[in-house]
C-alpha cells in the first residue's frame, strides 16, 4: 500500500508518516482550510485495519508523535487503552476507511469559503483546471434524515451510523456523476495509485456537508492536502465569478406583459444574460489526470512555508534512509 506520493524508500516508515501528518495539519491551517477545528488522518502503512488521527487539539498546535492516536477502522476505538482524548468526529474517518480499502487519507474541514455551497442550493463546480477532481459537482450530504433515534441533532458525525451514511455518499447506489474511480485507478501504484477494484473506489473526491463543511478522500496525504486546498480555491473562484456575473449582466423578460394590470407578466419568464463557464466532465477528468502528476510541486512549497513559520513546531523524528 502506498500512503505517500513520493516515498524515498520502498516502504514508508512510521517516523516519516507521523512527520508528514503533523506537517499536513500545519499546511491546512496555514492555508485557511482548518482553523481551531477540522482534521486530517492517514491509514497505517503497517496495518490497514488502523489509522492515525491527531488527538483533540487545534491542528496548528500539533507538535510530535505523542499528539497522534492510532484507531481501529472497525469501530473508531483507540488501539491503546490509555490514549489521549480524541476528536468526536473520528467516525468520519473510520467509516470511509472501512468502505474504501484504497483510500489512505481523509480531510474534514469547516472552511468558510466552502460553507455557502453547503447551504445555498448552489452546486460547487470546477471553474478552474486545478479543481478538476470535483468532477461535475460536489454532492451535498444532508445529515438531517440520518440521525439515530437517540442522537443529538447537532450536525456532528458522532456515531458509526452517521459516519457510514456520510461514507456512502462518496459512492451512491446510483450515480451519473463524475467517475472519480476511473481516474484514480489509472494512477500507477508507485506514485500513489491503487490496484483496488473500481467498485472499491469512491465516485466523488469531495462531499459537502449541509451546515457543516466538507470531507475529501485521497490515496495519500499529499493528494488529500492538495484536494482540500483547491476545494477552498475553487469555492472562492466560483463565488467571485457569480458576484461579478450578477453585477455585470442584466436580464430580459421573455413573454407577454400585461401593462394595464400593474405590469404583471403573463406567460413570460426572466432570462439572465451571459453565464458562468464551468469545466465539462471531460475537461475535469483530463485536468485532474494532468495535475495529479504535479502534486510534488505545491507539496514541497507548502512544507517550506510552514517550516519557515514560527507558529508551527514539528518535532517528529525524521526516518533514516536505508
Contact 9, 17 (CB under 8 A): no
Q: What is the pLDDT of residue 265?
A: 60
- Res 199 pLDDT > 80: no
Q: Range with the lowest mean pLDDT among 12-26, 37-51, 243-257, 277-291?
A: 243-257
Q: Write out pLDDT tens, residues 173-186.
A: 754 444 444 444 44
The rounded percent of the chain whose pLDDT value lies above 90 is: 74
Reported as half-sphere exposure (CB side, CA atoms, 13 A), residue 135 has a value of 21
Q: What is the pLDDT of residue 246?
A: 87
Q: Which residue has the higher pLDDT, 2 or 207?
A: 207
Contact 94, 163 (CB under 8 A): yes
Q: What is the pLDDT of residue 248?
A: 84
Phi, psi of 206 (to 5 degrees): -135, 135
Q: What is the pLDDT averaged over residues 5-26?
A: 76
State the CB neighbour count (10 A cutoff) for residue 243. Answer: 10
- Res 258 pLDDT > 50: yes
Instruction: Return d(Cα 116, Cα 8) in angstroms, integer.
Output: 40
Positive/negative CA dihedral, 45, 50, 51, 56? negative
How big, in percent rounded to 5, are the helix, strand and coil portions of the chain? 40, 15, 45
What residues are annotated to the active site? Answer: 89
Q: Write out pLDDT tens, residues 46-95.
A: 999 999 999 999 999 999 999 999 999 999 999 999 999 999 999 999 99
DSSP structure class, residue 250 = -
Q: How confident is the model at residue 320 (pLDDT cuts 50, 70, 90)?
A: low
Q: Which residue has the higher pLDDT, 195 or 151?
A: 151
State the CB neighbour count (10 A cutoff) for residue 58. Answer: 15
Instruction: Return d(Cα 31, Cα 309) in angstroms, integer.
Output: 12
In this structure, the chain runs to a length of: 322
Amino acid at each position: 500500500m502506498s500512503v505517500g506520493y513520493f516515498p524515498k524508500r520502498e516502504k514508508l516508515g512510521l517516523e516519516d508518516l507521523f512527520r508528514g501528518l503533523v506537517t499536513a495539519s500545519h499546511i491546512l491551517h496555514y492555508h485557511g482550510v482548518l482553523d481551531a477545528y477540522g482534521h486530517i488522518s492517514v491509514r497505517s502503512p503497517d496495518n490497514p485495519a488502523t489509522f492515525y488521527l491527531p488527538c483533540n487539539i487545534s491542528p496548528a498546535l500539533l507538535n510530535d508523535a505523542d499528539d497522534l492516536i492510532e484507531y481501529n477502522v472497525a469501530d473508531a476505538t483507540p488501539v491503546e487503552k490509555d490514549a489521549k482524548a480524541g476528536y468526536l468526529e473520528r467516525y468520519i474517518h473510520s467509516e470511509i476507511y472501512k468502505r474504501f480499502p484504497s483510500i489512505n487519507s481523509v480531510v474534514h474541514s469547516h472552511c468558510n469559503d466552502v460553507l455557502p455551497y453547503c447551504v445555498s442550493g448552489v452546486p460547487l463546480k470546477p471553474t478552474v483546471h486545478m479543481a478538476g477532481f470535483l468532477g461535475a459537482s460536489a454532492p451535498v450530504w444532508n445529515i438531517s434524515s440520518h440521525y439515530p433515534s437517540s442522537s443529538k441533532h447537532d450536525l456532528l458525525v458522532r456515531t458509526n451510523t452517521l459516519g457510514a451514511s456520510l461514507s456512502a455518499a462518496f459512492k451512491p447506489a446510483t450515480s451519473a456523476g463524475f467517475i472519480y474511480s476511473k481516474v484514480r485507478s489509472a494512477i500507477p501504484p508507485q506514485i500513489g495509485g491503487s490496484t483496488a477494484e473500481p467498485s472499491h473506489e469512491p465516485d466523488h473526491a469531495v462531499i459537502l456537508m449541509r451546515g457543516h463543511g466538507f470531507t475529501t478522500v485521497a490515496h495519500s496525504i499529499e493528494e488529500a492536502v492538495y484536494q482540500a486546498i483547491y476545494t477552498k480555491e475553487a469555492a472562492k473562484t466560483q463565488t467571485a465569478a457569480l458576484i461579478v456575473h450578477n453585477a455585470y449582466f442584466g436580464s430580459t423578460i421573455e413573454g407577454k406583459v400585461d401593462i394595464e394590470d400593474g405590469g404583471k407578466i403573463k406567460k413570460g419568464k426572466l432570462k439572465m444574460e451571459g453565464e458562468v463557464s464551468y469545466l465539462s466532465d471531460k475537461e475535469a477528468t483530463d485536468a485532474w489526470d494532468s495535475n495529479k502528476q504535479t502534486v510534488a510541486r505545491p507539496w514541497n512549497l507548502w512544507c517550506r512555508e510552514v517550516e519557515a513559520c514560527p507558529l508551527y513546531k514539528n518535532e517528529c523524528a525524521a526516518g533514516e534512509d536505508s
